[in-house]
Homo-oligomer: A and B are copies of this chain.
Amino acid sequence: MKKKYVYELLLKVRDYECDLQGVVNNSNYQRYMEHTRHEFLESLGENFGRMHDKGVDAFVSRVDIQFETSLRSGDSFLSCLNVSKVGPKLVFDQDIYRVGDQVLAARGQVEIVVVENGKLTREEYFDEVLKKLE
């Protein structure tokens, strides 16, 4: 049932990410999604830390995550994304699937704005980067 994505990253649950309920704490899915976006960026030749040093910062303006099936100790998962431009924003659709049975663990939509030397840009910075996707 997995869709097609422009980028997929294989990760594994780390036990310190599980909480007293014995499942991955919800806040970590947001972290998984951040790491996936940054690895996607690296796959396009850019690095988040270097961008910051150049005065370009991508900020999350909204995150909307639906939690479907809890990941647990020992689980591997595939963290997938698609990206589109909606006005001045980059919108990432990010789904996380448990490896093995491909059950959907979480689906998220994350909106990003880009700030260059302190002022909002219209994402021209990423136009250049995303061109490599075409």
CB of A60 within 8 A of CB of B18, answer no
CA gap between A27 and B19 in the complex, in Å: 13
Residues of B within 8 Å of A18, CB to CB, are 19-20, 49
Which one, B20, B26, B28, B63, contacts A73 given CB within 8 A? B20
CB of A67 within 8 A of CB of B74, answer no
Given contacts A27-B34, A47-B73, contact A62 B66 (CB under 8 A): yes
CA gap between A42 and B14 in the complex, in Å: 12
CA gap between A22 and B15 in the complex, in Å: 12
Residue of B at shortest CB range from A36? B14
CA gap between A67 and B83 in the complex, in Å: 20
